[in-house]
Structure 1
Amino acid sequence: EFTPFFMVYGAEAVLPCDIIHDSPRVRMYEEREAELDRQDSLDTLEEERDIVKARSAFYQQQDRRYQSREVRAKTYNVGELVLRPPDKKKDKLKPKWEGPFIIDQVMTG
């Protein structure tokens, strides 16, 4: 609903295409009225930023819940074959996994 430009400057940007195509926003622009609107929008800008912060926190909380719901505890037993991701993956053409490796010791903790 709110663009990053709006969150910084308190008003929507006027794009070059708006000027070229003579949009209603450009056509009906009046300096005096624009200044009054700007003052009004600055008064409500802090409230709108708070709304965005609350919405962002809500979405982050939902994302954390989803991610934690997808995490499954995995137990391994001695003798099983496993794959592991490489220590450092710099080349995108390299395999995503190394192995297989045989588990010879299981550690708890």
Structure 2
Amino acid sequence: MTPRTSTGENPFRMAYGTEALVPVEVGLGSYRTEVYNMETNNFGLRANVDLLEEEREAAYQRNMKYLLQAAQYYDSNIKKRSFGVGDQVLRELAASMPTKQGKLQPNWEGPYKATEVIRPGTYKLETLTGEAIKNTWHASRLRKFYQ
């Protein structure tokens, strides 16, 4: 019965094309139950079914707008990290060696040198002695190293 935030409609209306009648309304009597007429009700139900696709399309558009706003809000709080070739970085220990992490272990290891940008946000690394690291690393798992 409660309209969803994302669509602005309640699920019953989206499924059946009409508003649900709550049992309390039947027992206590409401305007809808007092002015009920079988003929006009059937006409109204047929009209609701005819307009149901338009209502669903409008709800779909509201849902897409809601999802876009949620994504923009989430993305506004993310700090973009980018490194150049030759930059020194630290690598997250939990990503490189998940079995060796613990409460008293350091969170970052390194420094390493970024040798290649595979695509924006993905890097190949090597140790400072020139030994290549076999995997590629995402920028979210790296941190700039300052000496």
Percent of aligned pairs sharing the same letter? 24
Total equivalences in the alignment: 97
Unaligned runs of 5+ in 2: 1-7, 83-87, 115-122, 124-147
Query: 1:106 & 1:74 partners in 2: Cα distance?
Result: 16
For the pair shown, the structure with the greater C-alpha radius of gyration is 2
Q: Which amino acid aligns with 1:14?
A: L
- TM-score normalised over the length of structure 1: 0.72
Q: What residue is the counterpart of 1:46 in the other structure?
A: 53
Query: 1:71 & 1:14 partners in 2: Cα distance?
Result: 45
Contact 1:77-1:103 at 8 Å conserved across structures? no
Query: 1:48 & 1:107 partners in 2: Cα distance?
Result: 56
Q: What residue is the counterpart of 1:104 in the other structure?
A: 110
Spell out structure 1 runs of 4+ moving beyond 6 A: none
Select the residue among 42, 50, 58 that pairs with 1:35: 42
Q: Which amino acid aligns with 2:74?
A: Q
Q: What residue is the counterpart of 2:73 in the other structure?
A: 66
Query: Is residue 2:19 matched to residue 1:8?
Result: no
C-alpha spacing 1:83/1:40, structure 2 compared with 1 (3 Å): same
Summarize the alignment of residues 86-105 of structure 1 with structure 2, pairs less than 5 Å apart.
98=103, 99-105=105-111
C-alpha spacing 1:10/1:102, structure 2 compared with 1 (3 Å): closer
The structure in which a higher percent of residues are strand is 2
Q: How many angstroms does 1:100 deviate by?
A: 3.7
Of 41-50 and 98-107, the range deviating more from structure 2: 98-107
Contact 1:18-1:26 at 8 Å conserved across structures? yes
- TM-score normalised over the length of structure 2: 0.55
